[in-house]
Amino acid sequence: MIVALIDSGLGLLPTSAWLRRLRPELDLVLSLDPDGAPWGPKPAPWVIDRVLGAAARSLDRGAEVIVLPCNTASVTALEHVRELVGPGIPVIGTVPAIKPAAAVCESVAIWATAATTASRYQADLIAEFADGTEVVGVACHGLADAIDRGDRAGALAAISDAAARTPDGVQGVVLGCTHYPLLRDEIVAALPEGVLLFDSAEAVARQTLRRIDAAEMDTSVGSGTVEVFVSGRPGSLPSSAEAFDAGRLLGAIRA
């Protein structure tokens, strides 16, 4: 069985790695878009066109499930992808883990890109899921870009800056960008002891498997291969993927 994952960059690695851990027999098609990244500041029609192009290529490669492990892609293009592929192909989107954080924390900071932090999308999620929990947005300037470059020094500097701007006393931090879990341990180390960290990668992977199982799809046909498209071209994961555990788990696939 082939599962396709679509993101602008390395943000697809955490969910891909969870799928690999939970169902190693699944074949994966990973679509990254370094030529167009970042997607967050781009106009919605541009993002939709980019995501639909990746989804169409995934179908051509035999994908039976499509995952958007990207907040921008999910809020902008999820319904368009569902319309493209039809009811027979499960399409799974990603939402920041505000709801589970609010269930156990009285105060939460959402770490996200500057565009997401200022977006109506995040404001609407807070209004819908915060359930009385105090929520503050923290823009993590340059963190996603540094992760895509495999620039650990730059990423650590961005993490330190975001931690310094996170209000004292917050009980939880929600990782509102799918790139950030690649440096989960480093983020934990930068936060005060006892602050809980929430991300959506494992939840999205498990939801994907629930959808597969509910549809009684045959997962036995697969050998754990990984195929990569880079801005629409057959290629490989960038060398920067090797800087992260998830990239190494996937074998830092070469063409």
Bridge partner residues of 111 (DSSP)? 138, 175
User: Which phi and psi (to 5°) does residue 122 adopt?
Assistant: -65, -40
**Phi-psi sector, 155: left (phi>0), alpha (psi -120 to 50), beta:** alpha
Measured torsion, CA atoms of residues 98, 100, 104, 105, in degrees rounded to the nearest 10: -10
Neighbouring C-beta atoms of residue 83, cutoff 10 Å: 10
Catalytic residue among 95, 177, 212, 243: 177
Catalytic residue among 70, 105, 143, 190: 70
140 is catalytic: no
177 is catalytic: yes
Bridge partner residues of 213 (DSSP)? none
Residue 116 to residue 38: CA distance in whole angstroms: 12
User: Which phi and psi (to 5°) does residue 132 adopt?
Assistant: 90, -10
User: Does residue 77 sit in helix, strand or coil?
Assistant: helix
Active site residues: 70, 177
